[in-house]
Amino acid sequence: MWTSLPTALLAFLFLSDPAAARYQRRTITIEACDTTATVVRTSSAGGEFHEKVLASSTPPVVVMSTMTVVPMPVGTFGGVVYSGVSTGTGIPAGIFYSGAASGLGLPSGIFWSGYATGTGSGSPRPTGGVGGNRTHHHPLPVNSTSSVLPIFSLHDTSSFSKQTSIASSSAALSTYIPSPFSSITLKPSSTFVSVTTSKSRSTSTPSTSTSTTSLTSTSATATATPIPFLRGVNLGGWLVLEKWMDSDAFTGAFSNAADQYTFDSISGASSALETHWSTYFTESDIQSLAATGINALRIPIGYWAYNNTGTPYITGADAYLDKAITWARNAGMYVWVDCHGSPGSQNGFDNSGHAGSVNWQTSSNLAASISVLETMAKKYGSLEYADVVVGLEMTNEPISYGNNHFSVTQSWAQEAYTAVKAQVENPGLVVVMHDAFQGATAWTDVAQTLINGGKKTFGIDTHLYQLYTDADNALTQSEHISKACGWSTDLAISNAVMPTYIGEFSAATNVCVNPDGSTTAGTSCSVDGCQCQSGNFDDLNDAMVKQMRMFVEAQLDVFEASSSGYFMWAAKGPGGWGFLNGIEKGVIPNPVTSRKYSSQCSGLVKRESKGWRRWFW
């Protein structure tokens, strides 16, 4: 690091070159673990100062993502950024002007994208406006132990000349001197995999880094596994009871209980819950899910598992969440911890723990919600879980009417995100917010504020069902399929800004099928031999199974194309709501990526190809 040079020498280098005094000092931030980096000045002639960043790492690494450079504030004398250029003899791909928005005045910076001609695509480009900071994304070569990152040249653009002969061997570079113009800070990156330390995810050993780190400006050593596309199911009805799903728990003394809150208020609930928790899902269920290609579990849990003060709620569910995390790890799956019930009830549905009134948006309940999330974040966002827990959802399905206001939900989400991020060690953990039924795209501004040019760790969860409105219940199955195909556009728009997940969807629609294969809307039908989906699932005929399978496959195609992942509701749900029984019946493809009815949707919009997907996964 250049900072090891005596200050006096640096001062001399700086002062000996009067032109240098025109340049403001800048900081280059590199996000990557186990990396040392030095910024060197390579030449100085005619008002030019060339710098390059030398990065090295031991052992060899696969860097999945990027280096972020926050270079100089653009001043009168700007900066030139050559990205990956060998001679700099091309056409500038862009010019930054300082001062005037119209581009009047002296150019304050020029950059090339791509190679000599400046026409390369997909190459690193600085971003950032006039007078601002620039961010430069540059992936290190796979498995390299050292890399020369693009030259950052400071120019007096009035006498602009081109950089030539950039040496790439470290031997040649050793003659360069540390630059007085820039300093480097290193930040840990989650988007990084060390091939020598990652362990097979089928073992129970976390794959967090065991290598020594040479980061000098931070103490973090996290190296989380990049998040793949999530093909998931919800472990619904387990740690948060839902009567319509849980026929086993709501029996005997508990048959009159309506929800978790009333269930927990009944004497004997503790042992009934233990029985339910220990039998409803077991490790073998998780293995059955994994065998179908499911790689992720969204696990709903209520806030009361972490703090039940002043409520009848019974604690203990978190011990089973912890078991499930271990099972998931053993099966090579990922987990998304979902705070499904918030203090006061965020929606008044039974799935929040307490059906009835919605009292979430009082200042004390909003604060208590954050306080519980901090507890959860500290635990599940720790490095101990970084190989398996990839998401933490802050609340589920807050409604946006009655006692709830969407604007309050949005400001709470920002406050909660900041509080959660302050507790997590795993820098790649995606902190997820449900869209409050306003659509994922209603959150892009919030995401942009929170992400602020950094890693995309704010994610959005949208639930896509087609049986809760009169309009949906008037559709035939082919209209349901068309509607699902139409989700692609908004999902892709949203996913370009923030990781966007379909945290819930199902195979269920209210349709009936006629013997000729045509479908009608509703829960009853009159044609001879027709059958409605609302009937007994086990008795569904082949024609209905085919219709449901087509609907499921169309939805999966859309999600695969345009989002970051999906979670079906629910692993053990009844009828069209069940993943495992859907697999058995043939309603759901097995493996989940296989298709019987491919290409039902035309013109699917692919999720952002050059954005976060490349950097994050």
Ligand X SMILES: *[C@@H]1O[C@H](CO)[C@@H](O)[C@H](O)[C@H]1NC(C)=O
The residues annotated as belonging to the active site are 397, 504
Q: DSSP assignment, residue 158?
A: G
- Burial bucket for residue 196 (CB in 10 Å: 0-12, 13-18, 19+): middle
Residues 83-122 that bind ligand X (CB under 6 A): none
**Smallest distance, ligand X to C-beta of residue 307, A:** 4
What is the Cα–Cα distance from 35 to 61, expressed in whole angstroms?
9
**Smallest distance, ligand X to C-beta of residue 142, A:** 4
| Number of residues that make up the chain | 617
**Is the CB of 346 or the CB of 581 nearer to ligand X?**
346
Give me the sheet containing 68-69, strands edge to edge. 68-69, 135-137, 126-127
Distance between terminal CA atoms of the chain?
30
Residue type, 240: V
Q: Which two tokens stand for residue 86?
A: 């060998």
Is residue 420 within the footprint of ligand X (CB under 6 A)? no
Is residue 448 within the footprint of ligand X (CB under 6 A)? no
Single out the segment in contact with ligand X by CB under 6 A; choices: 175-183, 209-217, 303-311, 531-539.
303-311
**Is the CB of 317 or the CB of 544 nearer to ligand X?**
317
What is the Cα–Cα distance from 294 to 568, expressed in whole angstroms?
10
User: Are 604 and 557 contacting, i.e. CB atoms less than 8 angstroms apart?
Assistant: yes
Paired sense of beta strands 26-31 and 48-63, if any: unpaired
User: Are 321 and 337 contacting, i.e. CB atoms less than 8 angstroms apart?
Assistant: yes
Query: Which ranges constitute the DSSP H helices of 331-439?
Result: 363-380, 406-421
**Is the CB of 211 or the CB of 307 nearer to ligand X?**
307
Single out the segment in contact with ligand X by CB under 6 A; choices: 305-313, 330-338, 355-363, 585-593.
305-313
Residue type, 553: E
**Smallest distance, ligand X to C-beta of residue 264, A:** 16
What is the Cα–Cα distance from 308 to 260, expressed in whole angstroms?
13
What is the Cα–Cα distance from 410 to 399, expressed in whole angstroms?
12
Q: How many CA atoms lie within 13 A of 127 on its CB side?
A: 11
Single out the segment in contact with ligand X by CB under 6 A; choices: 113-121, 304-312, 443-451, 529-537.
304-312
**Smallest distance, ligand X to C-beta of residue 343, A:** 7
Residue type, 536: N
Selected binder of ligand X within 46, 105, 122, 132 (CB under 6 A): 132
Is residue 309 within the footprint of ligand X (CB under 6 A)? yes
**Smallest distance, ligand X to C-beta of residue 362, A:** 11
**Smallest distance, ligand X to C-beta of residue 205, A:** 18
My answer on whether omega of the bond before 570 falls inside 30° of 0, hence cis, is yes
**Smallest distance, ligand X to C-beta of residue 363, A:** 11
Nearest to 386 by CA among 212, 206, 213: 206
**Is the CB of 43 or the CB of 315 nearer to ligand X?**
315
**CB under 8 Å to 66, separation ≥6 — which residues?**
31, 137, 138, 139, 189, 191, 615
Is residue 195 within the footprint of ligand X (CB under 6 A)? yes
**Smallest distance, ligand X to C-beta of residue 465, A:** 32
Q: Which two tokens stand for residue 449?
A: 């504020």
Report the SS3 class of residue 481.
Answer: helix
Selected binder of ligand X within 36, 56, 133, 462 (CB under 6 A): 133
Single out the segment in contact with ligand X by CB under 6 A; choices: 292-300, 307-315, 465-473, 538-546.
307-315
**Is the CB of 89 or the CB of 307 nearer to ligand X?**
307
**Is the CB of 132 or the CB of 529 nearer to ligand X?**
132
My answer on whether omega of the bond before 591 falls inside 30° of 0, hence cis, is yes
Selected binder of ligand X within 217, 307, 403, 482 (CB under 6 A): 307
Selected binder of ligand X within 368, 386, 496, 583 (CB under 6 A): 368
**Smallest distance, ligand X to C-beta of residue 347, A:** 19
Residue 320 phi, psi dihedral angles, 5° rounding? -80, -35
**Is the CB of 195 or the CB of 422 nearer to ligand X?**
195
Residues 36-75 that bind ligand X (CB under 6 A): 62, 70
User: Are 583 and 292 contacting, i.e. CB atoms less than 8 angstroms apart?
Assistant: yes
Q: Alpha carbon of 200 to those of 225, 227, 367, 383, 385: distances in Å?
A: 11, 15, 40, 17, 15
**Is the CB of 142 or the CB of 527 nearer to ligand X?**
142
**Is the CB of 311 or the CB of 482 nearer to ligand X?**
311
Single out the segment in contact with ligand X by CB under 6 A; choices: 172-180, 306-314, 475-483, 529-537.
306-314
x-or-dash string of contact with ligand X, 140-169, rule CB under 6 A: --xx--------------------------
Binders of ligand X: how many residues, by CB under 6 A? 12
Binding site for ligand X (CB under 6 A): 62, 70, 132-133, 142-143, 195, 307, 309-310, 368, 371
